[in-house]
Structure 1
Amino acid sequence: MGMASHLLIQVGGIFNISMGILLSWYYMSLICACFLLAHCLTVSTLHESPSFLAVKGRDEGALKVLRKLRGSHVDVHEELGYLQKQNKTTDDTQGCRGLLQKQHLQKIGLMSGIFFIHNFCGTQVLRMNATRQLQQLGLPMDEKFTTILVIVVLFFGNFFMTTILDCFGRRRCIMTSLMVVAASYISLGTFIYLWDTTPSLIDPQKDELLKFAYSVQNATLTDVIAEGSAILSVKDWLPLVFLMCAAFGHSMGIGPLVWLLPPEMFPTSLRSQGTSVCMVIGSLQTFTILQLFSLMQATLTQAGMYWLFAGVAVAGIFYIYFLLKETSGTRVG
């Protein structure tokens, strides 16, 4: 259920970009505004969480919501008693003061590190700047089509992770995704570095080089042009493959799971406050990496930026392995 929202985010992204191909920004802004209005109206009809009502001592409200959710044939009083037992807490651990306790500060610190890995291994950069990255790779493909392709890969990565999440657990999914991300970015950075620094011996657009290759290799002109076209085709599609592998790696673990972990780490009495603090820290980091994107490309070069993402992903594997406890299947209230 927690992953359903991430799947729908990808569906919304595909819809948004697809409509943007057909419509101008003026019409797209109106459509998005209508969706926003519908969302606000829908949220106003949602029920409050029974667990939250039980923690706050609003038993009648919790029973009313449980009856609507479970039906008249279920003993909701028994479930309410279970919720009260699961979320039994003392007054001094509720509210923002509870976050100052050592165990909760440690959780916030842990999640800050995970969000750092999430942002600085290129997750948000790929989501927000996919078109720019594809442009800078020099792919002779339609930018809108390739951007949709990236989001489709993100969707299938999320869907794949949803099917294996309970079997493999949070830690294994995140570590596996970081391995895929690291391998993809190392390969992409190395390819860009070698292609930019190694002079091409064959350029079918220059007659002088064609003549030179013809005289040196004693080959026919047709063979030289065919060989040059084959080399160019590799440069065209291979970076896209590496980028798609990185997108799949992001979406099968480190991308969506950072948003799923905070609610599983805090009890109901502190879940809203603890999750909100973690989200604010993660959002500030996202803002930082997006603002540094152009600067990193200028100072580190494009290959160096991808190597940086890969290095953060490798460090993240050890961070998750040694510090993150598995939350899959545990009861958090």
Structure 2
Amino acid sequence: MQRAGRKRTLQLTAPLWTAGWLVLGFAPNFPIILLGRIITGLCVGFVLAPAQVYVSECCDPEIRGRLGSLPTLSMSFGILISYTSGSWLYWRYLAFFSAVFCVALFVILLPLPESPVWLEAQGLDSNAAVKWLHLSKHAIATVKDDPEEKVAGEPKSLFTREVFFSSAVIKPFKVGFALLIFQQFSGIDAIIFFTVEIFLSAGSSLNAMTATIIVGAVQMFSNGVSTMLVDRSGRRPLLLLSAVTMCVSMLSMGAAFFFEFKHESWMGYLPIISLVIFMLGFSIGFGGLPFLLLGELFPTNYRSQLSAMASAVNLLSMFTVIKSYHALEHVLTSAGTFWMYAGFCAVAFFFVLFMVPETKGKSLAEIEHHFRGKKSKENINLQNVQTKF
């Protein structure tokens, strides 16, 4: 992503992603199905960070929250489409249907410019991109590096002790990675992957497909609300509200399973109510904002590497949560497992309260300067830091 650029990384991934879905659709046996799943899974990892960084770098600070939340909103919309179409399409046809979106990704990217922030960092002319995107100078303001931070005119490697443990890198590294870990250990993917089991445990008469479609619709609605609010209320308030809501809903979910409420009473529907409230709380904050912050917190020179690393940690955490759910349920019981997730949500609340800075309305240069500290104050390119209005 750092060498090829954000746009080109997405474009190079699109054909491979299309091929993965076609392999899956035409697969004659299980090993080929597995190959198709591996290819599509790798492509998810390839596009997760570049898409978020690209959007964040191509908009003004005043609207970056709304536009930066669109990848997550689009993802939830895609999940809902898959749930809905999967209820009546044969799985091979669903794979072909998914390949159409990968082709569309490649075509839609053709007229779009490369990220002006990336062009600036590479020493290339960004004027055409800035003009096409109608950006203000505030949006592409940069932080000048100290001469000792460069080797032969190029930024030093991220993996040197001097760079990695510098305040400009290690502070946003801790915040960004922790948010993505908390996102997964809230139990979200256990809820999504085992929705049917939870609904059945609650004694619901809804069939499996209807249950998943309801969850997908709730998630998309909540992400839409978050997209509208993020530039008005800021990132921190939404994250705090999200953590509290998830914690309370997980506590009530655990209580419902622990006390085994009879299905004849309205309390028998507490697991379903808790699940819906959890999805609302998750989607309004922790669902999309950690990914938005990926494109905001990390310094320009190392944004590509750190975002890719963060995405890998996020996917690894997702895998851990999904694979550990049944084992935890066996050891801790269902109630104990949900209470454990509630504990992670409570810790996430205090982490956001004390560690996460507000980035609402700030340029990427101002955010980077915040983490660098006072000693780098003179290194901001003040000539470029102008508000749009």
TM-score by length of 1: 0.79
Q: CA deviation at 1:250?
A: 0.5
Q: Tell whether 2:335 aligns with 1:290.
A: no
Please list every run of 5 or more consecutive structure 1 residues that lacks an aligned counterpart in the other structure: 71-75, 201-230
Q: CA deviation at 1:178?
A: 0.9
Q: Tell whether 2:87 aligns with 1:31.
A: no
Distance in 1 separating the partners of 2:194 and 2:110: 33
Distance in 2 separating the partners of 1:95 and 1:44: 32
Q: Tell whether 2:327 aligns with 1:299.
A: no
Q: Which residue of 1 aligns with 2:196?
A: 131
Q: Aligned AA for 1:23?
A: L
Structure having the larger proportion of residues in helix: 1
Q: Secondary structure at the match of 1:255?
A: coil
Q: Which residue of 2 aligns with 1:89?
A: 145
- Deviations along 1:263-302, one digit per CA (max 9) or x if unpaired, are 2112322221222222222221111111111111111111
Closer, same or farther in 2 for the Cα pair 1:276/1:90, shift >3 Å?
A: farther
Q: Which residue of 2 aligns with 1:272?
A: 304
Match of 1:4 among 48, 66, 70: 70
Q: CA deviation at 1:14?
A: 1.4
Q: Tell whether 2:291 aligns with 1:259.
A: yes
Q: Secondary structure at the match of 1:238?
A: helix
Q: Tell whether 2:279 aligns with 1:247.
A: yes
Q: Which residue of 2 aligns with 1:217?
A: none
Q: Secondary structure at the match of 2:307?
A: helix
Match of 2:252 among 167, 173, 187: 187
TM-score by length of 2: 0.69
Distance in 2 separating the partners of 1:193 and 1:286: 25
Distance in 1 separating the partners of 2:110 and 2:326: 40
Distance in 1 separating the partners of 2:139 and 2:288: 28
Match of 2:128 among 46, 54, 64: 64
Closer, same or farther in 2 for the Cα pair 1:327/1:148, shift >3 Å?
A: same
Match of 1:320 among 352, 358, 368: 352
Please list every run of 5 or more consecutive structure 2 residues that lacks an aligned counterpart in the other structure: 1-66, 366-389
| TM alignment of 1:215-230, pairs within 5 A | none
Match of 1:116 among 159, 172, 181: 181
> Which structure's CA Rg is the greater one?
1
Q: CA deviation at 1:156?
A: 1.5
Number of equivalent positions: 290
Q: Aligned AA for 1:193?
A: F
Closer, same or farther in 2 for the Cα pair 1:298/1:43, shift >3 Å?
A: farther
Q: Is the 8 A contact 2:83 2:216 kept in 1?
A: no
Closer, same or farther in 2 for the Cα pair 1:247/1:44, shift >3 Å?
A: same
Match of 1:281 among 313, 330, 351: 313
4+ runs deviating over 4 angstroms:
82-85
Q: CA deviation at 1:90?
A: 4.4
When the two chains are superposed, the root-mean-square deviation of aligned CA atoms in Å is 2.3
Q: Which residue of 2 aligns with 1:310?
A: 342
Q: Is the 8 A contact 2:139 2:363 kept in 1?
A: no
Distance in 1 separating the partners of 2:142 and 2:343: 41
Q: Which residue of 1 aligns with 2:54?
A: none
Distance in 1 separating the partners of 2:243 and 2:139: 36
Q: Is the 8 A contact 1:263 1:271 kept in 2?
A: yes
Q: Which residue of 2 aligns with 1:48?
A: 114
Percent identity at matched positions?
Answer: 24
Q: Is the 8 A contact 1:55 1:88 kept in 2?
A: no
Q: CA deviation at 1:137?
A: 3.3
Q: Is the 8 A contact 1:55 1:84 kept in 2?
A: no
Q: CA deviation at 1:22?
A: 1.4
| TM alignment of 1:233-244, pairs within 5 A | 234=266, 237-244=269-276
- Deviations along 1:149-169, one digit per CA (max 9) or x if unpaired, are 111111111122222222322
Distance in 1 separating the partners of 2:129 and 2:295: 21
